[in-house]
Amino acid sequence: MKTLAQKFESTGPKRILALDGGGIRGALSLGYLKHLENHLRKQHQNDQLLLSDYFDMIGGTSTGSIIAAALAIGMSVDEIKQKYFELGTKIFGKKYKWFKIFEIDDLLKAKYDDKALVSELQNVFGDVLLGDQEKIKTALVIVAKRADTNSVWPLNNHPKGKFYDTEKGDNRSIPVWKCVRASAAAPTYFLPQSIDVGGDNSFAAFVDGGVSMANNPALQMLMVATLKGFPYHWSMGEDNMLVVSVGTGMTKWKRLPKKISKNTLLNWASSLPDMFMQDASWQNQLMMQWLSNSPTSIEIDQEVGILQDDILTDEPGRKKGLISYLRYNVILDVDELNTRFKPSKPYKQADIDDLAAMDNAKNCQKLFDLGYQAGEQEVKLSHFPDNFKI
């Protein structure tokens, strides 16, 4: 197996795993990841292989950052599943109490008390720092949004990073649990997270990375891996770069024109976050399909289709993309799920609305099972060419 230092190097084929945000729906991602782990173990004839062994970079946003960080410290999918289910039940179980006058200020800012979240993250990650070169097994990218500057921060553990251990910042010394807490500070759900990042303005306030264009962090992580401003400098090319992106389920936006025209200010306010997140996800999907000849491509819209004739390439005349790209996700829609999975008890819209909730911890097993069913159909050994074997 490669060492962490070898994974940081710019030579050889590189493999990136990017995990979406989506609250408790991260359980759905775990269903996919179980298949991914099984396939890679079969390919490498190693039933102990971990995703941190295979991938050179693992990262995520919000709930995706929790799973990504757990994978990066060498946990198996089964281990994470157990911890994740426990964590979900605890963190989405304790709301602020209206009668606690001393917490009234927090009550007006967040739905849930973050004490359980902090406690569980500390339990999982202990004293591991972002710069721990022994306990972290792969390049780790945790996507958060710095609220005081309105900028996306891909916190990462490369020792040559501009903010790793320099006058500009000291990301090296940030506890991993605190990085994850910052990425998962979903507005209205949890309070923002303050972190001492070093440098001139040492304290920074972070909110959930999902309120940026990087709730689906695949494109952001590709930029971290390849742009000159970051320290990795990995090479593009279909045979050089594999990006695997895993979602948390996406709802279908269905609104009748007559109903939209009657929307109130409150209706619009409650709909805007989902609208922005969907826009960001579709834009990421479009860009990644534009860069690749992906076997998992989906129709973006009726104008551009799946972009099969628009692939950006350094080899004109050939359908060979600048990266290899895989995207696994489930559309949370009544017709889609009933047609695709043919459940004994058909889904109704109320079931979909319940599954789509980002804070219903009772759905952990249902979401995992749904992701596992989808992974059974979608994740194929052929998606992982031999040139990306370790």
| 341 vs 11: CA distance, rounded Å | 42
Active-site option among 20, 29, 52, 62: 62
Active-site option among 113, 170, 208, 333: 208
Contact residues for 121 (Cβ-Cβ < 8 A; gap 6+): 66, 87, 177, 180, 181
Helix-helix angle 115-125:176-183, to 10 degrees: 140
Q: Please confirm, yes or no, whether 62 is among the known catalytic residues.
A: yes
Answer yes or no: are the C-beta atoms of 10 and 232 closer than 8 Å.
yes
| Ramachandran area for residue 23 (φ above 0: left; ψ -120 to 50: alpha; else beta) | left
| C-beta contacts of 225-234 below 8 A and 24+ residues apart | 225/14, 225/16, 225/57, 229/162, 230/154, 230/156, 230/158, 230/161, 231/8, 231/158, 231/159, 231/160, 231/161, 231/162, 231/164, 232/8, 232/10, 232/57, 232/139, 232/158, 233/10, 234/10, 234/14
Closest Cα partner for 28 from 348, 390, 337? 337
| 15 vs 241: CA distance, rounded Å | 6
**E-strand stretches of the chain:** 14-19, 57-61, 139-146, 151-156, 193-196, 203-208, 241-246, 250-251, 324-328, 331-332
Q: Please report the DSSP string for 337-373 in residue order.
A: HHHHH--SS---HHHHHHHH-TT-GGGHHHHHHHHHH
Q: Please confirm, yes or no, whether 261 is among the known catalytic residues.
A: no
| Catalytic residue annotation | 62, 208
